């Protein structure tokens, strides 16, 4: 809730600052002269300042709530309590006699050894106690164990820091929260602050450090590049075979009644089946090795490519075909010089979609079962609560997916510059 | 014999609902080599169907087309076609578009380049040779289409409203170009148009068609095309006969449209 509020606040404040306070850098393009911009889609261009602030804000929030060393201390959200906490408890005997003692708790980082602080037993029949508790953890403290009259003698704890407490109740103290179990044992939970525990969300620099570490040392017997390379290799091979079969199939469907009739039911049925739903069947048939994964990606790409090629062929303007015939072209020349180039833009669009779907499918397939691969990496890491590896994996998967799309768009611009110009 | 004979052409389309449309009924006419005929008529009179049959894209239900002594059974390079727009190959440069026909025939590279250069000069696009066709304006694109058609050296050029999508000024320039090419090349041309002025200006012969069923309503022989060669077309339009003919034909087509409207209203 708090991160969301901060996020919204940064959004609003930066919006106001950048649009109202800072005078507009005079735009000199045509749009700057438009008086009607609200509702004119072409007048809306992404504000680069907003994009930069948006990304910085995400990292800022991430750093603030993880106590990142990259941020100055004053930006950190209150961290968990660490150090020595004390509170008093009041015990009462059946005859109404009360005594008070102090509990000293050393709250220490989880990965450090800690010894219980030494304390004087103190006056009275209730003796002072000490305990250790890890940061972000909580612990039961049997404070009556060293008392002259313990639970066995009918003593019960009635107050913490002077505030009455009963089984099931709790008292807020300066260092956190003291609760009481139904049996009457005190349970101390040091204040957790607002920061995330690293096992839920590690700080950005920890993730970066993990990337460096895994890039250098590898993960589970393979280097990082091997893991990512395997995923990419599967996608490329699966997509290649999908396109190799799918494009001719789509052409045949676009050019022949019989092919259209024969394959239409199959293609139309298979297209809406999510490739992920095929994973179990593919595992049964082909196992969890490379073959199974490539078959799955082949199937993911096949229908998309077939449909793209089919609509590329059907989309050819009849006047172009007529023109080519009356210029003396034969059927094979029409195919080569008119139908194929005319369908290329559609095929490229299909290829972009297919690559995206394949990338998503390969990660999912690796989550299910794999020896190597980006999906396997984050799945195994999650089982060991290695959240930093999981986050690293997600970011790398995102970057690669984005990279594939950029690459396909670039290839499209280069190879089919006539797209949408017909 | 040379020339084009359209013999008793009828065309009947079966509709999916069981009915049928008589698009053409008993259309006959002869064109000698080098004649330019414009075809005019209200929408639905079968102009485009007629052209598609002559081009060989459609087979008539009755009758036949005889071209230079043989019956037309399909599209062929002897009958070139210029479409309204969007029939250029946008994946090819201007040069490749114009050279398409020769290339399909397997013409040697040098001859092809020579033909292309010559025709680009004729249509005034030499400077745009290596441009992509989608970078050109509408008028330029139609000039490419004309050049592409001529590069194949067809006997007959069929034009399906080739200037229909152009603005008035460009259209006038293109009309002059069509006349010039017609005179220089001596091609037989059939030109379909919606514009009465264009039909009068370009048509050595002018065919007015009537709808339902599509048939020849009236045929004119006009002097304006010959006058227009090498002369400003605006001068031709000042010819006293031009305005008379224009009014006459406009009235004729107007009446046909009225009749169609009346009929649909009566049946509705």
Residue A24: pLDDT band with limits 50, 70, 90:
low
> Which pLDDT score is estimated for B152?
87
Is position A200 within any domain? no
Shared domain for A295 and A333, answered yes or no, is yes
B128-139, pLDDT tens digit by residue?
A: 888 888 888 888
Spatial neighbors of A344 by CB under 8 A, at least 6 apart, are A312, A415, A416, B91
Instruction: Report how far apart the first and last C-alpha atoms of chain A are (Å, whole number).
Output: 51
CATH number of the domain encompassing residue A409:
1.10.3720.10
Q: Which of A315, A316, A326, A340 to mutate to test the interface with B (most CBs of B within 10 A)?
A: A326
B6-43, pLDDT tens digit by residue?
A: 888 888 888 888 888 888 888 888 888 888 899 988 87
Residues of chain A in contact with residue B105, where contact means CB-CB under 8 angstroms, are: 328
Sign of the dihedral defined by the CA atoms of residues B174, B176, B179, B184, in that order:
negative
Shared domain for A175 and A121, answered yes or no, is yes
Torsion-angle region of B56 (φ positive above 0: left; ψ -120 to 50: alpha; else: beta):
left
Is position A317 within any domain? yes
Shared domain for A216 and A346, answered yes or no, is yes
Is position A197 within any domain? no
Interface of chain B toward chain A, CB-CB under 8 angstroms: 55-57, 74-77, 79-81, 83-84, 86-91, 100-101, 104-105, 132, 134, 148-149, 152, 154, 158
Is position A322 within any domain? yes
CA A137 to chain centre: 26
Is position A69 within any domain? yes
> Which pLDDT score is estimated for A251?
95
Angle A340-368/A275-286 helices, nearest 10 degrees? 70
Residue A37 has pLDDT above 80, yes or no: no
Residue A234: pLDDT band with limits 50, 70, 90:
very high
**Cβ–Cβ below 8 Å for B81 and A323:** yes
DSSP states of A275-328? HHHHHHHHHHHH-SSHHHHHHHHHHHHHHHHHHHHHHHHHTS-HHHHHHHHHTT
| A335 interfacial to chain B (CB closer than 8 Å) | no
> Which pLDDT score is estimated for B265?
63
CA of A314 vs chain B CAs: smallest distance (Å): 16
**Cβ–Cβ below 8 Å for B86 and A319:** yes
Enclosing H/E stretch for B29: strand B20-31
Average pLDDT over residues A26-52: 78
Is the interface score ipTM higher than 0.95?
Answer: no
Average pLDDT over residues B108-115: 88
Q: For residue A43, what are the domain limits?
A: 2-75
Shared domain for A152 and A237, answered yes or no, is no
Q: Please give the residue that has the higher pLDDT: either A306 or B63.
A: A306
Average pLDDT over residues B71-99: 88
**Cβ–Cβ below 8 Å for A421 and B90:** yes
Average pLDDT over residues A389-400: 91
Average pLDDT over residues A182-186: 87
Of A327, A328, A418, the CB nearest to B91: A418
DSSP states of B42-70? -TTSSHHHHHHHHHTSS--SEEEEEETTE
Residue A350: pLDDT band with limits 50, 70, 90:
very high
CA of A355 vs chain B CAs: smallest distance (Å): 25
Phi/psi for A89 (5° steps) reads -125, 155
- CATH architecture, domain defined by B4-78+154-267: 3-Layer(aba) Sandwich (3.40)
Share the mean pLDDT of chain A.
88
Shared domain for A213 and A267, answered yes or no, is yes
Residue B268 has pLDDT above 60, yes or no: no
| Cα–Cα nearest to A196, from A8, A56, A388, A383 | A388
Enclosing H/E stretch for B11: strand B4-14
Q: How far is CA A27 from CA A37, A44, A48, in A?
A: 14, 13, 14
Average pLDDT over residues A25-50: 77
What does chain B come to in residues?
268
CA of B102 vs chain A CAs: smallest distance (Å): 8
> Which pLDDT score is estimated for B266?
61
> Which pLDDT score is estimated for A152?
81
A63-110, pLDDT tens digit by residue?
A: 998 888 888 888 888 888 888 888 888 988 888 888 888 889 898 888
Shared domain for A399 and A254, answered yes or no, is yes
Residue B153 has pLDDT above 90, yes or no: no
What does chain A come to in residues?
422
> Which pLDDT score is estimated for A231?
92
Is position A338 within any domain? yes
- Looking at chain B, which residue has its C-alpha nearest residue A320? B87
Residue A143 has pLDDT above 80, yes or no: yes
Residue A360: pLDDT band with limits 50, 70, 90:
very high
CA of B67 vs chain A CAs: smallest distance (Å): 14
Of B84, B89, B104, the CB nearest to A320: B89
| A329 interfacial to chain B (CB closer than 8 Å) | yes
CA of A340 vs chain B CAs: smallest distance (Å): 10
Residue B267: pLDDT band with limits 50, 70, 90:
low
Residue A140 has pLDDT above 70, yes or no: yes
Domain end, chosen from A43, A75, A107, is at A75
Half-sphere exposure of A118 (CA within 13 A, CB side): 0
Spatial neighbors of A262 by CB under 8 A, at least 6 apart, are none
Lowest average pLDDT, out of A45-49, A330-334, A343-347, goes to A45-49
Top mean pLDDT of A295-304, B81-90, B129-138, B249-258 is at: A295-304
| A419 interfacial to chain B (CB closer than 8 Å) | no
Shared domain for A354 and A210, answered yes or no, is yes
Number of independent structural domains in chain A: 3
Domain end, chosen from A22, A47, A75, is at A75
Does residue A65 contact residue A201 with C-beta atoms inside 8 Å? yes
Q: Encoding tokens for residue A108?
A: 């220490």
Average pLDDT over residues A242-246: 95
> Which pLDDT score is estimated for B180?
85
**Cβ–Cβ below 8 Å for B100 and A337:** yes
> Which pLDDT score is estimated for A236?
94
Percentage of residues in chain A with pLDDT exceeding 90? 36
Q: Is A196 exposed, middle or buried (CB count within 10 Å of its CB: 0-12, 13-18, 19+)?
A: buried
| A326 interfacial to chain B (CB closer than 8 Å) | yes
| A325 interfacial to chain B (CB closer than 8 Å) | yes
Shared domain for A173 and A217, answered yes or no, is no
Q: What is the pTM assigned to this prediction?
A: 0.81
Q: Which of B65, B81, B90, B192 to mutate to test the interface with A (most CBs of A within 10 A)?
A: B90
Report domain extents, chain B. Answer: 4-78+154-267
Residues of chain B in contact with residue A341, where contact means CB-CB under 8 angstroms, are: 89, 91
Q: Please give the residue that has the higher pLDDT: either A313 or B42.
A: A313
Shared domain for A177 and A246, answered yes or no, is no
Domain end, chosen from A161, A190, A219, is at A190
Shared domain for A33 and A111, answered yes or no, is no
Shared domain for A293 and A320, answered yes or no, is yes
């Amino acid at each position: 809730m708090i991160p969301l509020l901060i996020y919204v606040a940064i959004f609003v404040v930066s919006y106001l600052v950048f649009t109202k306070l800072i005078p507009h850098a005079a735009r000199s393009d045509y749009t700057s002269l438009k008086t009607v911009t609200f509702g004119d889609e072409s007048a809306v261009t992404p504000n680069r300042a907003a994009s930069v602030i948006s990304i910085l804000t995400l990292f800022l929030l991430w750093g603030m709530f993880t106590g990142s060393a990259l941020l100055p201390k004053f930006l950190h959200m209150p961290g968990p309590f660490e150090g020595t906490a004390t509170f008093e408890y009041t015990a009462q005997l059946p005859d109404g006699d009360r005594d008070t003692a102090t509990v000293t708790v050393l709250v220490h980082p989880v990965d450090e050894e800690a010894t219980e602080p030494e304390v004087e037993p103190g006056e009275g029949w209730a003796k002072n106690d000490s305990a250790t508790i890890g940061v972000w953890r909580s612990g039961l403290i049997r404070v009556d164990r060293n008392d002259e009259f313990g639970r066995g003698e009918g003593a019960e704890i009635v107050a913490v820091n002077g505030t009455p407490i009963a089984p099931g109740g709790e008292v807020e103290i300066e260092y956190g929260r003291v609760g009481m179990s139904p049996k009457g044992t005190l349970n101390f939970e040091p204040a957790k602050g607002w920061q995330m525990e690293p096992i839920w969300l590690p700080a950005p620099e920890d993730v970066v450090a993990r990337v460096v570490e895994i890039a250098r040392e590898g993960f589970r017997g393979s280097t990082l590049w091997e893991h990512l390379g395997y995923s990419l290799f599967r996608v490329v091979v699966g997509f290649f075979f999908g396109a190799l079969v799918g494009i001719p199939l789509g052409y045949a469907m676009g050019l022949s009644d019989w092919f259209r009739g024969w394959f239409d039911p199959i293609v139309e049925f298979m297209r809406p089946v999510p490739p992920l739903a095929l994973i179990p069947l593919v595992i049964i048939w082909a196992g969890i090795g490379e073959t199974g994964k490539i078959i799955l990606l082949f199937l993911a790409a096949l229908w998309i490519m077939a449909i793209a090629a089919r609509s590329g062929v059907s989309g050819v303007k009849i006047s172009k075909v007529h023109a080519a015939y009356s210029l003396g072209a034969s059927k094979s020349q029409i195919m080569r010089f008119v139908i194929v180039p005319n369908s290329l833009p559609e095929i490229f669009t299909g290829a972009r979609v297919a690559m995206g779907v394949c990338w998503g499918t390969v990660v999912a397939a690796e989550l299910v079962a794999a020896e190597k691969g980006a999906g396997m990496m984050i799945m195994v890491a999650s089982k060991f609560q290695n959240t930093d590896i999981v986050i690293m994996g997600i970011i790398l998967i995102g970057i690669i997916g984005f990279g594939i799309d950029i690459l396909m768009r670039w290839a499209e611009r280069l190879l089919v510059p006539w797209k949408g110009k017909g | 014999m040379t020339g084009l004979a359209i013999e008793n052409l009828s065309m009947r389309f079966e509709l999916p609902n069981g009915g049928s449309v008589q698009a053409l009924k008993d259309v006959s006419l002869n064109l000698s080599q080098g004649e330019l005929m414009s075809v005019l008529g209200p929408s639905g009179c079968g102009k485009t169907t007629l052209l598609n049959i002559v081009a060989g894209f459609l087979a008539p239900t009755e009758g036949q087309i005889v071209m230079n002594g043989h019956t037309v059974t399909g599209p062929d390079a002897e009958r070139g076609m210029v479409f309204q727009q969007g029939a250029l190959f946008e994946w090819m440069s201007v040069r490749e578009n114009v050279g398409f026909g020769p290339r399909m025939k397997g013409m040697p590279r040098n001859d092809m380049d020579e033909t292309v250069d010559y025709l680009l000069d004729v249509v005034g696009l030499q400077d745009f040779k290596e441009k992509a066709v989608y970078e050109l304006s509408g008028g330029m694109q139609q000039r490419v289409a004309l050049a592409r058609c001529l590069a194949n050296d067809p006997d007959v050029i069929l034009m399906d409203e080739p200037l229909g999508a152009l603005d008035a000024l460009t259209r006038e320039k293109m009309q002059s170009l069509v006349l010039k090419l017609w005179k220089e090349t001596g091609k037989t041309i059939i030109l379909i148009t919606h514009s009465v002025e264009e039909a009068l200006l370009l048509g050595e012969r002018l065919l007015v068609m009537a709808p339902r069923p599509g048939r020849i309503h009236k045929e004119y022989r006009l002097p304006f095309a010959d006058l227009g060669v090498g002369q400003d077309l605006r001068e031709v339009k000042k010819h006293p006969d031009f305005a008379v003919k224009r009014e006459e034909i406009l009235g004729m087509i107007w009446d046909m449209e009225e009749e169609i409207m009346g009929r649909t209203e009566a049946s509705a």
